[in-house]
Amino acid sequence: MVISRGETVMHIIDATDVGAVTLTPHARAQRDGTLVYPQA
């Protein structure tokens, strides 16, 4: 929910490797902040 509200979220891979989290293009944020993914 944090990322869907515009906050920066990071993956900590190890002591020297950190990467930004992104939503997949199919994720749909709902009004209550939950994410919905359509069925494949």
Domain boundaries, the chain: 3-36
What local confidence, expressed as pLDDT, does residue 4 receive?
66
Predicted pLDDT at 13:
92
Q: What does DSSP say about strands 35-36 and 28-29: parallel, antiparallel, or unpaired?
A: antiparallel
pLDDT of residue 1 exceeding 70, the answer is no
Q: Which pLDDT tens digit goes with each residue over 25-37?
A: 898 888 887 889 9
> What's the mean per-residue pLDDT of the chain?
84
> What is the reported pLDDT for 21?
87
